[in-house]
Structure 1
Amino acid sequence: MANPSALDRIRVGSAPDSWGVWFPDDPRQVPWERFLDEVSEAGYDWIELGPYGYLPTDPARLTDELGRRNLKVSAGTVFTGLHRGPAVWDETWTHVSQVAALTRAMGARHLVVIPSFWRDDKTAEILEPPELTAEQWAHLTKGMERLGHEVKEAYGLELVVHPHADTHIDTEDHVERFLDSTDSELVNLCLDTGHYAYCGGDSVKLIETYGERIGYLHLKQVDPDVLAEVVADEVPFGPAVQRGVMCEPPSGVPALGPVLEAAQRLGVELFAIVEQDMYPCEPDKPLPIALRTRRFLRSCGA
């Protein structure tokens, strides 16, 4: 492992996801005030906005709430289905504009884009084929480039696309195809170490091979034993999370120390935001995990 003082380009944070938050409003989720209190207590300086509407969307109020807890925002997040072609552009842009405006108002510079799911994350219903046609790939890549251009022009934000289980950008082959088909001036990658491992990818290899395209990190681990069951049983992502497929570091894979070291060697400043998917979870579960995770990351030098 690197000298703990060496990871000076990595800015660590956490996200509502690590508190079991997947939706703007859900009775099984912790109230947003408690999330902010506890993420600050855990020792994090940076957060993501999470699902739009979970945190206050009034910039003045959110600025005040964050300021009282010494927190700053690293990014906003949106879901898109741009592989469906130009017909979905207007609806997509309406949603993206909302999130991008709040993201910019909070002083953040990144917008994380997650492709839409091909399989329902709760019911396992197959919504679309898991493989895109050549035409759909063209819609996806050109649509993301257009979105990256528009977001940069209108809001000054960098677009980082998040490979995700049960989406069309998931495996190593799909991620590399996406990167090889898009312009680095318009679109880069939010590498989620857990999702990439879930789909069979090697995060260190990706960082070393496509380093100039790594614009943002999500730190996450998978339990290899649970993952093997999930793959064998063809379990969709939501139920897989309920089985505990995403686990507390350092008990899973990939090892985060080497990932952070590889990211540090890129020589650029990067956010590394902890996400441990736990929806739904007991309200008292996240804080102890967050405290231990922050302590572990400090031991890695982050």
Structure 2
Amino acid sequence: MAERIVKEAQVPFDLGGSRFDQIATDLFSDYSRSRIQAWIKEGVIQVDGQPMKAKEKLFGGETISLNVEIEAQEEHQAQEMDLDIVYEDEDIMIINKPAGLVVHPAVGNRDGTLMNAILHHAPETAHVPRAGIVHRLDKETTGLMVVAKTLVAQTDLVAQLQERSMGREYEAISIGVMTGGGIVDEPIGRHPHNRQKQAVEPVNGKDAVTHYRLVNRYKNHTHIRLKLETGRTHQIRVHMAHIQYPLVGDPQYGGRLKMPKACSPELQEALRDFRRQALHAKKLELAHPTTGEWMEWEIDLPDDMQHLLDALKRDMQESGSEDSEYY
């Protein structure tokens, strides 16, 4: 089922002399400039009832009209699945993603993904690019994600991500004992020899900034809190491995499991049983795309990470030391 958008606006005279696409983007600010330009090219945004090229200049006083029908995304199937919904209204949905759930359908994962579940729970997202998913978490990463339920909300949330105004904080368990927090400001791009991985790429990478601080230190591990300025693929995993503190359970960037010397049998078992990267999207902050209200959500660590932290704490205590709390 298609959704039709019909809008009309008069060009203010103080915008006279500007390009058609610039004026249309200003008047129809609910939609991104790239989308406006695509609609102009398709001829569904017109000036005084006539199509016009994006670069042509207007005088002021003209009427710009938008009349477009957005087809639902038929290529992805809606599937009934359990969703842990933390918050929902007419515009957005905040989801607590479990480990093991793939976000987008892809080769090898055509269904059973978060997108399939969203399309079933909120059918209106079929009219929004990627069913309203504006950022993603890796398959084995848990925690908070925001989903846009309308095209207007999607445009606004993407802009917040691009402007770096959306707040995203994570908690992780790294291998090695850190002496303090810091910032990793290193560009990330595709690994030159392994297309399945990302890497710090000073020449061809895109800018990536990760802030981290200590929560607890243990004998051979550190519990850390991280804040992202950017959202590159595998950013936290790549940056922590780059500074020699890879995440527990991350064979892609941390190598094979190595048992710490003289650790308790309980901790050995906990480390062996932890079969994913120890990374959780704990906190999310954003301006509501319709009301502008600043909103935030925070979610507890999943049971598997908390169990591992408990084992690390007991191992520390059994050795006669106390873990060092910083947060």
Note whether the superposition's TM-score is higher than 0.5: no
Larger radius of gyration: 2
TM-score w.r.t. length of structure 2: 0.23
Greater helix percent: which structure? 1
Greater strand percent: which structure? 2
Higher relative contact order (CA 8 A, sep 6+): 1
TM-score w.r.t. length of structure 1: 0.24
